[in-house]
Amino acid sequence: MKNLFLATSMFALMMTAFMTTAGADEATPAIDTPAVQATRDNLATGSVSAGVFNRYIFRGYELSAHSAVIQPAVTVSYKGFSASMWGNIDTDEHPTQSFVPDREGQKSFNETDLTLSYAYNIDKLALTGGYVYYGTKYANETEELFISATYDTLLKPTLAIYQDINEYSGTYINLSVSKSLPICKEISLDLGASAGYFAGSSDYWKTYERSTGAYTGKKYQAFHDGMVKAGLTIPVAGNIVIQPLIQYWFPLSGAAKRTVDDNSYNFNGKLDDTFVYGLNVTLSF
């Protein structure tokens, strides 16, 4: 727990320094969508989306390679409660340092995640807590509990903590910032960055030792993944937006990218520098 507190404190210091060097805040023009009107009328809101990307990255781990992935999602919200379902379709599965496909060389709908959450706002502070179920074909299914806090100020910093309560017991902490800048009519430039810290707490996360030639070392704990991104939000109708984007993922520490005798120091696979690009289309209702 001492390590987790230290990691959280360092993240906060890093991002505070970053925010003090950023430019002045600018208002983003509001788009009066049906979802916005439904919120005013105290009705349920939701969205349906589909994304197409060159690969699937999760917390820095490369979970697809040399193929396009299609990621459909649906979310419904009412009075702070939300339920969402997200999926990943790999159009041509190939192994990576973190991924063993269930159907190599074939198309596979290999992940379906369910998230249930509740959000509560206190002035500019948004607090969210919830549960995530990960239904994966390439690994054991598992579950997480999470809490997050977002402050509506310059760069909208968000601190989120996830705790696995099933197969892969461990704690993941992520601190992210984001900024949308209007550039032309209702089109905005969306910028963001995040940093993650991971601490494994089960024997699954033991690290590789050269002396034994096996995963018998201490449990993996490290500044884990970093990510920076840029994209556009382009309204094409009152309730439809298109969002092209590019992300750059990278390991945050030597432990995250380390290999020992050509074996990943982290049992779940080493992290590499990786680009993700693609397009997401969202229909709000």
Which tens digit of pLDDT belongs to each residue from 7-30?
444 334 333 333 333 333 343 333
Pairing of strands 214-219, 206-209: antiparallel
Residue 251 structure tokens: 């390991």
CB 209 within 8 A of CB 244: no
- The whole-chain average pLDDT of the chain stands at 89
Q: Tell me which fold the domain 55-284 belongs to.
A: Porin (2.40.160)
The pLDDT of residue 238 = 83
Whether 250 has a pLDDT exceeding 50, the answer reads yes
| Residue 120: strand, helix, or coil | strand
Read off the tokens for 92. Answer: 């041509």
The residues, any chain, with a CB within 8 Å of residue 80's CB and separated by 6 or more, are 118, 119, 120
For 188-227, how does the pLDDT look when each residue is reduced to its tens digit (9 = 90+)? 999 999 999 999 999 999 999 999 999 999 999 999 999 9
Model confidence, pTM: 0.84
Our measurement of the distance from residue 50's CA atom to the centroid of its chain's CA atoms, rounded to an integer in Å, reads 16
Q: What integer pLDDT is reported at residue 237 of this predicted model?
A: 86
Looking at residue 126, what is its pLDDT?
A: 98
Q: What is the CA radius of gyration of the chain?
A: 20
Looking at residue 134, its pLDDT comes to 98
**Mean pLDDT score, 86-101:** 97
Q: Give the pLDDT of residue 25.
A: 36
pLDDT number for residue 19: 32
Supply the DSSP symbol for 96: B
135-191 confidence digits (pLDDT tens): 999 999 999 999 999 999 999 999 999 999 999 999 999 999 999 999 998 999 999
Domain coordinates of the chain in residue numbers?
A: 55-284
| Burial of 129 from C-beta contacts in 10 A (0-12 / 13-18 / 19+) | middle
pLDDT in tens, 47-67: 999 999 999 999 999 999 999
Q: DSSP label at 27?
A: P
| Phi, psi (rounded to 5 degrees) for 70 | -115, 130
The pLDDT confidence band at residue 41, using thresholds 50, 70 and 90, is: low
Average pLDDT over residues 77-106: 96
In this structure, are residues 102 and 94 in contact, taking their beta carbons and an 8 Å threshold?
no
**Amino acid found at 236:** V
* pLDDT > 60? residue 112: yes
Interatomic CA distance for residues 129 and 114, integer angstroms? 14
| Residue 279 CB neighbours (<10 A) | 14
| Closest among 196, 84, 96, 201 to 138, alpha carbons compared | 96
Unique residue bearing structure tokens 């005013």: 40
Dist. CA 61–CA 96, nearest whole Å: 9
pLDDT tens-place string over residues 251-278 = 999 999 999 999 999 999 999 999 999 9
SS3 135: strand
Q: Is the pLDDT of residue 99 over 60?
A: yes
- pLDDT attached to residue 4: 41
- Give CA–CA dist 235/185, Å, rounded: 10
The angle formed by the CA atoms of residues 101, 104 and 107, to the nearest 5 degrees, is 95
Helices (H), the chain: 2-20, 34-40, 254-257
Coil, helix or strand for 124?
A: coil
